[in-house]
Structure 1
Amino acid sequence: MQPVAGPDTQGSWYRGWRLVAVDGTTFTVPDTDENDAHFGRPGTGRGDGKGAYPKAQAACLIELGTHAVFDARLEPYRVSENRLIEEMFTALKPGMLLLADRSVYSYQRWTRAAATGADLLWRVPSHLVLPPVEILADGSYIAEIAPPRKSEIAPFRVRVIEYKLPVVTDGKDELYRLIATILDPVQAPAKDLAVLYHERWDIEGFFKQIKSVQLNAERIFRSKSTDGVRQEFWAHLGVHYATMRIAVDAAHQAKLDPDRISHKDTVRIIRSRIWIPDSFPPRQSS
């Protein structure tokens, strides 16, 4: 699997950068001894209580706009989501712009992702110290981030974009702090990057398509063995990828953003076109 957006695919590009995003999620798996022993299950938050079902930790790297997944991981629940995310940095290439939420940021992960040649636009925690060294005309600024411990590694420079958005639940403003490897505001104005960052939510939509459309009503994998769960995970990604290719082709013909093509409707149409014989093998005529 690989990115599929062409040069004219809407929603997948910003000024020549291919937009990609990374995030993690969990999947519920059947309650069998094998799955429980391998994947484990979350606590309930009450003493030593355990959840009703085992869970698997997953992470995916997708192309925005098309939702094409081009790298993924599935491991036991106890494995860190960020460890899986960091493993997928090997799939990044120059010309990509990777969007990520603040839970992903660490000095090590940022430097490893940047070393691939891809550009980065990540939200960072509000407590991260970002002393300005240069104020830019568009309101963003250049900051230096030093290594977390004393070392011979030189600090690296990032561009910082700060803005506030109202929180729907309480009406208060929430501070967003983004850092980017794109230092030139002419190449990418601060307002553009602030708007662009929220395209990251596409990956949440991708996970929802897997869980709400492709899985059963209970949103639980079917496989009762660990090998079966892994095969099922990759099968669902493969089905999604194939379905996405059909939707992208339809969007291209209609000159639409692929996001405008419903994944649920595409799956429904594909299912309606699949011939299911009454019996297999065919009955012998008497």
Structure 2
Amino acid sequence: MALCLHPDDDYEEVAKKLAGVLALVPGAHWQAPTGGAINQARQQLGSEPVKEVFQQVPRPAATESTPGAWLHGRRVMAIDGFVVELPDTEANAAEFGRDSAGGYETVFPQARVVAISECASHAIVAANVAGCWAGEQTLAFSLYQRLTEEMLLTADRGFYSFPAWNEARRSGAHLLCAAHVPRSSVG
């Protein structure tokens, strides 16, 4: 969480800032951990506690007066997917894979992310991460339960399906989805 507050700093610099604050506590004798110690602790922690915190913390950030945040009383949200490159480790390659759809294998392992975010603030309120071969609709399906009645969810045509629509509507949210309409043949 501290890394989010200091996005331009690395682990050790953020730890030193935290240790500096702790040093102000009377009787405290605390030293910042090394980068290696932080990395080791993150590996021991695993991903489940991070996922649990993410499930509880994210929420929309826009207020009533934030420009573009609302449309006819509905908070404007969007769902979309993207791919991120990961550090080139055997564990990442095994867990997430390397994309080879373009006829060549990518240099780095890649993860596919599907997220629901608030359009005005760009705050991500729900996300799923999986290997690069995971489908966006599959990753999106469980995110729909995080919608609320005050939301208007916008989505491109890649997310539209009747099961997805029904799941999202169960939340009470309103939906605005692009749909593919086949061209009619001109005689």
With the shorter chain as reference, the TM-score category is: 0.5 to 0.7
Whether 1:7 aligns to 2:7 is no
Whether 1:60 aligns to 2:115 is yes
Superposition pairs for residues 47-126 of structure 1, below 5 Å?
49-126=104-181
Q: What is the letter of the counterpart of residue 6 of structure 1?
A: T
* Structure 2 equivalent of residue 19 of structure 1: 76
Whether 1:34 aligns to 2:99 is no
* Structure 1 equivalent of residue 40 of structure 2: none
Q: What is the letter of the counterpart of residue 60 of structure 2?
A: P
Aligned partners of 2:131, 2:101: CA distance in 1, in Å? 17
Superposition pairs for residues 110-259 of structure 1, below 5 Å?
110-127=165-182
Q: What is the letter of the counterpart of residue 107 of structure 1?
A: F
Aligned partners of 2:177, 2:78: CA distance in 1, in Å? 10
Residues 99 and 128 (structure 1), Cα distance of their counterparts in 2 relative to 1, 3 Å cut: farther
TM-score w.r.t. the length of structure 2 is 0.64
TM-score w.r.t. the length of structure 1 is 0.42
Residues 56 and 128 (structure 1), Cα distance of their counterparts in 2 relative to 1, 3 Å cut: farther
Secondary structure of the residue aligned to 1:4 is coil
Aligned 8 A contact 1:44 1:51 in 2: no
Q: What is the letter of the counterpart of residue 96 of structure 2?
A: F
1:5-62, Cα deviation, whole Å (9 max, x unpaired): 222221100111110000000000122211111110111533xx42221100111111
State the Cα RMSD in Å: 1.8
Residues 97 and 128 (structure 1), Cα distance of their counterparts in 2 relative to 1, 3 Å cut: farther
Q: What is the letter of the counterpart of residue 5 of structure 1?
A: A
**Where has structure 1 moved over 2 Å in runs of 4 or more?**
none
Residues 112 and 38 (structure 1), Cα distance of their counterparts in 2 relative to 1, 3 Å cut: same
Query: 1:128, CA displacement in angstroms?
Result: 9.7
- Which structure 1 segments of 5+ residues have no match? 130-286
Residues 44 and 62 (structure 1), Cα distance of their counterparts in 2 relative to 1, 3 Å cut: closer
Q: What is the letter of the counterpart of residue 14 of structure 1?
A: L
Secondary structure of the residue aligned to 2:81 is strand
Residues 110 and 53 (structure 1), Cα distance of their counterparts in 2 relative to 1, 3 Å cut: same
Q: What is the letter of the counterpart of residue 124 of structure 1?
A: A
Secondary structure of the residue aligned to 1:82 is helix
1:70-120, Cα deviation, whole Å (9 max, x unpaired): 111111112112111111101101121000001101111111111211000
Aligned 8 A contact 1:19 1:97 in 2: yes
- Which structure 2 segments of 5+ residues have no match? 1-57
Residues 65 and 39 (structure 1), Cα distance of their counterparts in 2 relative to 1, 3 Å cut: same
Aligned partners of 2:74, 2:101: CA distance in 1, in Å? 42
Q: Which one scores higher on RCO, CA 8 angstroms, separation ≥ 6?
A: 1
Aligned partners of 1:44, 1:77: CA distance in 2, in Å? 10
